[in-house]
Chains A and B, each alone.
Chain A
Amino acid sequence: MADTTSSPLKRTALHALHVEYGGKLVEFAGYEMPVQFPTGVKEEHLWTRDQAGLFDVSHMGPCFLTLASGTRADPAAHDEIAALIETLVPSDIKGLKPGQARLTVLLNEAGGILDDLIITRPYEEDRQGELYIVVNGAMKDQDWAIFEAALAGKAVLKRADDGVLFALQGPKAEIVLGAHFPDCAGLKFMESRLMLLGGARCIVSRCGYTGEDGFEVLIPADAGPALVRLFLDDPCVRPIGLGARDSLRLEAGLCLYGHDLSPDVSPVEADLAWVIQKRRRETGGFPGAARILRELKDGPARKRVGIRPLERAPAREGTEIHVDGVASGVVTSGGFGPSLDAPVAMGYIDAAFALPGTKIDLMVRGKARPAEIASLPFIPARYKR
């Protein structure tokens, strides 16, 4: 994660709060971000699963993509903007219901993944013809350049990464967020609404990156720190750093772009075929469709899998996977899962060995360590469906 450039690090609107709460700051996606707070990664991880954790994700790339002709109170406007973005992603965006969000992937011409992102169709009748899109912080400049180049003259991109984007995750998230956003309890997993708070327009989405129930909220920068402080004042809530964010998402079997997903990996290989809905499988029309549709039909040559080391040694990213002494794959994310109290990993392996229960060896510091393929997620998701 070392920064190889000398450009100054950006700071989010919550930077002063990170410092006040004793966050240990590191470089991440060009920003100075807290990797952990004084209680430490393990405690933060367990707290989030038990209570509620607050994550600053303002470094990510929230944006709005709007028809060049503007929004209008007409469902056909949604079909128009959906058709534009569907030239870049393989998911059924047209079929989103008002207020529904969907995970998808941005593809290159070879069917490789350029980023993973969440696209939301606004619920509000007068916002049809607009999409709310959140891309990864490290990839936002790339993604936005792709949107602008592909959709020039047809749609207008408005970045919203000058605001505050925070996630509140864990079993207490609904009751804590509900104190200030009473309508949040009405949302189900992957649903989103515009909500007003003291005159500020906030987008509240029931989603996250931990496997827990929870929300992500986009608020204007000027309203952000004061609002976040209100939530942090709740005794159920603690600030959580990037370290626990990573261990939580790994236990939840969720991919980290640049590690588990990359431009040479297809969504089928990444075990994300579920982001390609029926209509798109039938009609294609997305970058790399030839390869992806072929892999859907014949199966991919390699596949992303969960891995449980059978001893205590964690296997980190880059660890070779051997089957019967033959190199057969590689770990793309690996560490320790505090909720499982055991090491966990994800990686890619030849499809022949991808079945849960298959015995493998992880080559950790030159020594073969026994492990087995495990189904994902490692811990059951607790989304409110």
Chain B
Amino acid sequence: MTKTTIRVNRDIQAEKRERAAAFREKLSRQGTLVLNLVSSPGTGKTALLEAIAKELKGRLRMGVLVGDLATDRDAQRLAPLIPVEQLTTGGACHLEISLVEQGWQKLGEPELDILFIENIGNLVCPASHDLGEHMRVSLLSTTEGDDKPGKYPKMFRTSDALVLTKIDLLPYLPFRVEAAIEDARLIQPDLDIFHTSAITTEGIPDWCEYLEQQRQKLVASVQTS
């Protein structure tokens, strides 16, 4: 018997990250901006997508991959507005690149300007998984409480934008907008922050304009490279 220690020193997710990077690269080349929407359950990811689909109708070509543990309720809600494919994880607490690749194939790999991936409602596990997105967008609703960013540092640290949702409810809640933003910026100073209500559509035009700009930036960066 010979005892040997083999030095590996590698991120165990390296292979998945490479697959995610390849997906990102593929969609970059065809000018599709990929957004990974993450939040707690009930923050309003689907409602935000409905509002975006209505606002950007006729302006951008969009598609959605929506993840849930069970049911295709979100896909049914979104289908009248936007091409959508439901990813049902059967219990897994997060999406992974393999599910995204499958969903993208099922969607028919259409020519899109923006592909939204609505992740499983969970502020923990999805933070550790690269889905091939260009941007990670965290949603935080006024009904959740303003102390959430500090409690889930990885999610907010790995996000590029923060969308506050349900701001129409602010008059009825103790949610302090400034405290939430300060908490989030301590973790990720570069966050682009938006205030929205999918019900009243307040803030939706600004958010959608930002999405258009981000998509244009991607196209410009692909052309120059």
Same complex for A and B? Answer: no
Q: Taking beta carbons and an 8 Å cutoff, which residues of A are in contact with B?
A: none
